[in-house]
Structure 1
């Protein structure tokens, strides 16, 4: 028997929550550890406590709200996402996952259902990574990929550290941030791509996540006057960079069917109309569900940077700053999501995420799966991000029923990928 959340309460909370850090163009500006992010955390803790949850904040600012089960010694089902945003980002990214988790727990309270296992709602810290890199930091520390001190020492562009800013906003908690026994993890998120909308479907049953690699790269040449300097005597860092930008597009089109590549950031110096660019710092991002494809693309772009430097007579450099392998989610959890969608008559398909999510790290800790809902026009990470509310509710209902199914499993359950506890 399926259960359904309160669409009205979910929407009311969504609208009130997104008043925090609201922008004039209908988005939100809540980058990690900003004052707006602090207010969002405060509101979330308030709502967790009103729902009767026991709130815990760990040492990197991850927020957990625990609802007890019949047997509180059993491993909990964890469900959530994040509430930090891009600079001038969208209202749906991450937020529907956290508020959807809370709404599911509120629905259990309404109908008086006590699950076998505890359920914990979570809001992960610094998922977006726009102020402090890398992204998915809170879940990465939790999963044991990053050390706590590594996180504390990260600096933003103003030289402020993650650790000090976490303390400033009051969310440097006492609980250790480290892997612990969990029964399973589920996450609801907007797709951030066009697949569901193009197919006219309400739900994506996510089978895995692309692997990706990130580079910081730079060319250093010679600044000179744009007028008197002949073309054959120039050592133009931007010209070398333009060769690599073109190469990234070419590599993405030839190395693998699902490979995508992006040069997303350029910093040109001295950035003057009549001066030959002396230095360009830039980034490269490659993603694919095939890890060998990502590695081939990375090797190719390293070669292209070396060749571009030689052609233009400049110095080239690059540093790999992130490498995450592709993730295949737990088969049993994926089937649980699909079964919930079927039971609700939610039109759905199975797909793979091109974006990284906290679920990528949790997948290494416990059985994991995700639920996607459509992004109109495939747009995300901007103020134009939009999901039809009916789709958001459908996704939250699929999430709720999948979590309820898993939280109802007793201690001696021995399904695929799960522990007996």
Structure 2
């Protein structure tokens, strides 16, 4: 464990706070939607910091940024770390970017200590992990792993009809390098837990062994817009009424799976969205998560059945389209063991756990040995401007990351 080298936690924290000023919100969070000007400014700062640390920079056709610190045997496959820099519309200042800047801090620490690694080390900032501006989530790491092709990735549109390819050109991050295809020796993603388990159990490190599977859907209910004052209740084809009943059904589908079940309606658009018009159409999202693929398949059937039953009951037309899916995954056993050994050697309390959220590491795991490291977040709160972590948690996670990278870089 290289004499248990440790990062400069204060420097990492200062970097996090400086980055948080880009897209900072009045409530202390950030709004750095993918490929906006705020995202560009965050990318520019990351590139400047990495260049100052002696790294070479590579940007691929999906805008993924790779900062490379050369190794003693630079022809060897690198050890990769990183996360994402984009945020939710009103997100927190640690989600994603903590893993990116912790990777940078590892490189700075190696420079400070004069440590030359056998293998090169690369820190990646993935494009559009959140899926807030462009759906689906984790699109760029998905293209990197071959889950999506490049044409599909570049063609995803935001609500204004702007594609990822156009947005990359607009902010100057349409890179010349191919997406994926490079060998990776081992990969580690450090992230806040985004849940309450570690803090509730007074633990510092989560050794992440795998992640839940996910399925995303787009659902549309269509009825008939009508005057709210002149249309009797029994003559209405109220799409919003159907929507309300589907929301309740989705909630029941999630509750039926016990502690592991997750079912969410997170986004809805109501048409015409006027206070004195019976809504004629509602477009909304549904999401299921579970660590068992068989359960996700049952939830899929239950959703289709519930939407069809509810729509037929009040005279609506309905469509259900699945737009995103990945199966539950297990991270590489050797990489997981490296993370656990690092936490033990450093004396940090820890536990093995499953990630309830999706991460770029989930796709990366398909093409490279991968594991994740979690640190707690206050009250488990994330995707919220009030998202918070403590400096000692931030430092501990980066310490574990440093030791894991050092161990893998010698293999």
Tell me if TM exceeds 0.5: yes
CA-to-aligned-CA distance 1:339-362 (integer Å, 9 cap, x gap): 101111111111111110000000
Separation in 2, partners of 1:230, 1:280: 20
Q: Tell me which of 292, 308, 311 is aligned to 1:309.
A: 311
Within 5 A, what are the aligned runs for 1:327-406? 327-406=329-408
Q: Tell me which of 3, 7, 10 is aligned to 1:8.
A: 10
- Whether the aligned pair in 2 keeps the contact of 1:218 and 1:280 (CA below 8 Å) is yes
C-alpha displacement at 1:257, in angstroms? 4.4
RMSD of equivalent CA atoms: 1.1
Separation in 1, partners of 2:357, 2:259: 17
- 2:109 alignment counterpart: 107
Separation in 1, partners of 2:30, 2:181: 31
Separation in 2, partners of 1:345, 1:212: 34
- 1:416 alignment counterpart: none
Q: Taking structure 1 as reference, are residues 147 and 138 closer, same or farther at Cα in structure 2, changes over 3 Å only?
A: same
Separation in 2, partners of 1:161, 1:273: 33
Separation in 1, partners of 2:256, 2:111: 53
Structure 2: give runs of 5+ residues left out of the alignment.
none
* Stretches of 4+ aligned residues off by more than 4 angstroms: none
Separation in 1, partners of 2:230, 2:51: 69
C-alpha displacement at 1:369, in angstroms? 0.3
Q: SS in structure 2 opposite 1:218?
A: strand
Q: Tell me which of 64, 67, 86 is aligned to 2:66.
A: 64
- Whether the aligned pair in 2 keeps the contact of 1:255 and 1:297 (CA below 8 Å) is no
Structure 1: give runs of 5+ residues left out of the alignment.
410-421
Q: Does 1:29 align with 2:31?
A: yes
C-alpha displacement at 1:224, in angstroms? 1.9
CA-to-aligned-CA distance 1:160-197 (integer Å, 9 cap, x gap): 12111101111101110023211011000011111111
CA-to-aligned-CA distance 1:196-246 (integer Å, 9 cap, x gap): 111111111101111010110011011222333332222111111111111
Separation in 1, partners of 2:96, 2:264: 23
C-alpha displacement at 1:55, in angstroms? 0.7
Q: How many equivalent pairs are there?
A: 409
- 2:233 alignment counterpart: 231
How does the TM-score come out when normalised to structure 2? Answer: 0.97
- Whether the aligned pair in 2 keeps the contact of 1:256 and 1:293 (CA below 8 Å) is no
CA-to-aligned-CA distance 1:327-382 (integer Å, 9 cap, x gap): 10011111110110111111111111111000000000111000001111111111
Separation in 2, partners of 1:74, 1:193: 37
Q: Tell me which of 90, 94, 97 is aligned to 1:88.
A: 90
- 1:419 alignment counterpart: none
Q: SS in structure 1 opposite 2:49?
A: helix
- Whether the aligned pair in 1 keeps the contact of 2:13 and 2:394 (CA below 8 Å) is no
Q: SS in structure 2 opposite 1:341?
A: helix
Q: Does 1:154 align with 2:156?
A: yes
Separation in 1, partners of 2:168, 2:272: 34
C-alpha displacement at 1:256, in angstroms? 5.3
- 2:195 alignment counterpart: 193
Q: SS in structure 1 opposite 2:252?
A: helix
Q: SS in structure 1 opposite 2:227?
A: coil
- Whether the aligned pair in 1 keeps the contact of 2:60 and 2:179 (CA below 8 Å) is yes
Separation in 2, partners of 1:234, 1:113: 72
